[in-house]
Amino acid sequence: MPRPLDSPVSLAAAPVVFFTGKGGVGKTTVACQSAVISADQGRRVLIVSTDPASNISEVLGSPVSDSEADLVRGHDTLYALNIDPTAAAKAYRERVIGPYRGILPQDALDSMEEQLSGGCTLEISAFDQFASILSNPNTKDFYDQIVFDTAPTGHTLRLLALASAWTGFFDSSTTGVSCMGSFEALEAERGRFAAALEILKDESRTSVVLVARPEPVAMIEAERASAELRELGINNQRLVMNGVYHPTDATDPIAVEIEADQVRALNDMPDSLRSLPSSEILLSGNSPIGLAALRAFPDLPIGVPGSSDVTPTPPGNALSFTDLVEDLSSAGRGVVMTMGKGGVGKTTIATKIALDLLGRGHQVCLATTDPAAHLELELGGEQHGDLRVERIDPSIEVMAYRSEVMNTVGADLDEDGRTLLEEELNSPCTEEVAVFRAFARLVSLGEQGFLVIDTAPTGHTLLLLDASKSFHREALAKGGTSEEFIDRLIPRLQDPDFTKVVIVTLPESTPVSEATTLAQDLRRADIEPYAWIANGCFALLDVSDPLLLVRQRSEKRFLEMVAVQSSKFVMLPYAIRSHS
Amino acid sequence: MIEADYLVAKKVRIFDPAMCCSSGVCGPGPDGSLVRFAADVSWLSGQGIEVERFNLTDSPDAFVAEPLIKEVLDSKGVGSLPVIIVDQEIRWVNQYPERSALAEAFGLTS
């Protein structure tokens, strides 16, 4: 017997609440809704996004600062803040360098700035800001509740694990130095990290709401997150099943099929999730934007129908998926990367491109940089000819990097030297280097055939590219490394004939605005997106269920926004996801 | 006796360029010479020599406070780092010495 459902708001009553889950399950909507309703009851609530590609500003319908918490427009007890690693790192650099302007020569300041622009600084300064919010006693006194809307699971687990990783490193290291400086200079940070860890583990103060959808992949992801959280000592967990669908038109075969898919997924729900206090939110016709819509959601699951005279004709310039693959195939080799918001279908589309290229007789490697990707599920556990499958698993890469270093430069050291090196390799920030090196090695595979990369959700993919650029500059400053795959990484990514970025989105508000920003960020990094895919379109299907009709109509303007982005624009029907 | 003690160098201060960690394993590729030098420094301190190591990113104060270093930075630029000071004298500029050279400077057997 399943346990009775709670209301989503009563599930999230702890002083500190994290909303986490796979990309695209509706974390931001559910977190914002919970924060708004809690604040409506007169509580002072702070909502914080830890996603580098945060959407809380769009969903709350209010500007949100990345330096300090501000009141949300139209509310007098709800505050919001974005933790933006880039902004946090910039502030951190200024704290370090500022006092020495005019005292140290400019070239010395420049070299400090360069060193403090790496992935390591990005990660640690964002984590420090996160730990400060959690552990600052003033914050705790001022706010009745802090709600965290987090990045997709893989990266959130890393964020939460950093508290114990750094605390453990501080406790075990004998050299007294770390990438962030000497331990003496880090007294304050050490204190914050330890306090953050304590709060995270305190069941009376912290709860984690796992958000999932009635789909196998989202549930597998929630199950994995749940287990890893327990390993970190975070046991106060809850489950929100978002987007449960009960069609009203039994003659709509697509609606019936979607419901049947959901029922199967819910029947197969892992036991560890079934035993959690849980709640359900019905599927809505369009995603709520702004305070009023969040308050009404999910009592109005159908949403506001578009005017009925809007014909849902898709934009006319769409290419077929086959044409797109044909164009990719004609290059004979190279890197194809699918990018976009979590949950838009990057993995599914990357897999389809890889299999189609394989079918055209190419040598193909399918890889993922997403710690939470499920390539095996997409491939259905089958062997596909000579398809090579790779994944960058940070924990495996770190171990490989550590042993590689110990076996190369560490080989000639005496025992003391080896102990010292081992200790330094245990610093949590070696993960950045290890992942970067694995990524560079992967990209070099595009020289011999096709490498199709399914990337992590936007924010972290951009951070990976940022880190790559900064490692590249560092390598250039030293006159290059002796490793071709490292030195050629950035030139390869910037070569439009070699690297082809396929931006994937759903025809919905947040995925489209995130994709548009992503395209701008890529252009700033001298990478021109190659094609756009609007995935999961109801516009291509013949539906009659009222909710699906609402979806179909609300898609139109987003499809038009995508269609003007590129001459290579492809639409895929909703079915590609439910059949996969 | 006092005189002999005075003659033997006792303290070394290493002023590193801006870097993430002293072995370089956090950089784009591990730097063998940095790793070896980190081990040599640890050996030296095990021999009873007082060793202080400063990284420009982490301890800019130390660079400002030592007139010898400040002067090198102002006249020759940041490219002259690392600079290694033995007692009160600049001994190495823009290089990490071998263990044997360190041993020699401190009258030790490597």
> How far is Cα A207 from Cα A13, in angstroms, rounded to an integer?
8
Quick check: B19 and A482 CB within 8 A?
no
What is the reported pLDDT for A5? 63
Please check whether residue A271 touches B, CB under 8 A: no
The answer, yes or no, to whether ipTM is higher than 0.85 is yes
SS (HEC) of A219-248 = HHHHHHHHHHHHHCCCCCEEEEEEEECCCC
| A438-481 per-position pLDDT tens digit | 999 999 999 999 999 999 888 888 888 888 888 888 888 777 77
Structure tokens at B67: 């007139």
Quickly count: other Cβ atoms within 10 Å of residue A264's Cβ.
12
Shortest distance between the Cα of B53 and any Cα of chain A, in A, equals 10
Quick check: B36 and A413 CB within 8 A?
yes
Given a contact cutoff of 8 angstroms between Cβ atoms, the answer to whether A38 and A47 are in contact is: no
Burial A69-93 (b: 16+ CB within 10 A, else e): beebeebebbbbbbbbbbbbbbebb
Given a contact cutoff of 8 angstroms between Cβ atoms, the answer to whether A77 and A42 are in contact is: yes
DSSP A307: P
Question: Which domains does chain A possess?
Answer: 8-296 (3.40.50.300), 321-394+433-473+482-573 (3.40.50.300)
A292 Rama class: left (phi>0) / alpha (psi -120 to 50) / beta: alpha
Which of B26, B35, B79 is closest, CB to CB, to A421? B35
Given a contact cutoff of 8 angstroms between Cβ atoms, the answer to whether A158 and A467 are in contact is: no
> How far is Cα A404 from Cα A397, in angstroms, rounded to an integer?
10
User: What is the full DSSP assignment across A94-107?
Assistant: HHHHGGGBTTB-HH
What is the reported pLDDT for A306? 44
> How far is Cα B107 from Cα B90, in angstroms, rounded to an integer?
17
Number of Cβ pairs < 8 A linking chain A and chain B:
137
Quick check: B77 and A120 CB within 8 A?
no
Given a contact cutoff of 8 angstroms between Cβ atoms, the answer to whether A161 and A148 are in contact is: no
3-class secondary-structure state, position A150: coil
Quick check: B26 and A103 CB within 8 A?
no
What is the reported pLDDT for A535? 94
What is the reported pLDDT for A284? 84
> How far is Cα B60 from Cα B16, in angstroms, rounded to an integer?
10
- In 3D, which of B45, B25, A184, A415 has the Cα closest to residue B14? B45
Non-local CB neighbours of B2 within 8 Å, separated by 6+ positions: none
Residues of A in contact with B25 (CB under 8 A): 405, 421, 424-425, 430, 433
Non-local CB neighbours of A301 within 8 Å, separated by 6+ positions: A282, A283, A284, A285, A547
DSSP B80: G
Over its length of 110 residues, how does chain B's per-residue pLDDT go in tens digits? 444 555 566 899 999 998 877 677 777 777 778 888 888 988 998 899 999 999 898 889 999 999 999 999 999 999 999 999 999 999 999 999 999 999 998 888 87
Mutating which of A179, A186, A418, A430 best tests the B interface, going by the most B Cβ atoms within 10 A? A179
> How far is Cα A124 from Cα A131, in angstroms, rounded to an integer?
10
A361 Rama class: left (phi>0) / alpha (psi -120 to 50) / beta: left
Over its length of 580 residues, how does chain A's per-residue pLDDT go in tens digits? 345 566 666 788 899 999 999 888 999 999 999 999 999 999 999 999 998 888 999 999 999 999 889 999 999 999 999 998 888 888 888 988 999 999 999 999 998 888 887 767 777 888 888 988 998 888 889 999 999 998 877 778 878 888 778 777 777 766 655 555 555 566 777 788 888 888 988 999 999 999 999 998 899 989 999 998 999 889 999 999 999 999 999 999 999 999 999 999 999 999 999 999 999 988 888 788 899 999 987 654 444 444 444 445 556 678 999 999 999 999 999 999 999 998 899 999 999 999 999 999 999 999 998 877 778 878 877 778 789 999 999 889 999 999 999 998 888 888 888 888 888 888 887 888 899 999 999 999 999 999 999 998 888 888 888 888 888 888 887 777 778 898 899 999 999 999 999 999 999 988 999 999 999 989 988 999 999 999 999 988 889 999 999 999 889 989 999 999 888 999 999 864 444 3
Mutating which of A92, A93, A104, A399 best tests the B interface, going by the most B Cβ atoms within 10 A? A104
Given a contact cutoff of 8 angstroms between Cβ atoms, the answer to whether A237 and A226 are in contact is: yes
Given a contact cutoff of 8 angstroms between Cβ atoms, the answer to whether A490 and A546 are in contact is: no
> How far is Cα B13 from Cα A533, in angstroms, rounded to an integer?
58
Residues of B in contact with A412 (CB under 8 A): 36
Strand-pair category, B89-93 with A531-537 = unpaired
Strand order in the sheet with B83-86: B50-55, B11-16, B83-86, B89-93
What is the reported pLDDT for A544? 92
Which of A105, A110, A410 is closest, CB to CB, to B35? A410
Non-local CB neighbours of A540 within 8 Å, separated by 6+ positions: A314, A571, A572, A573, A574
> How far is Cα A424 from Cα B41, in angstroms, rounded to an integer?
14
What is the reported pLDDT for A185? 60
Q: What angle do CA A33, A218, A248 make, to 5 degrees?
A: 70
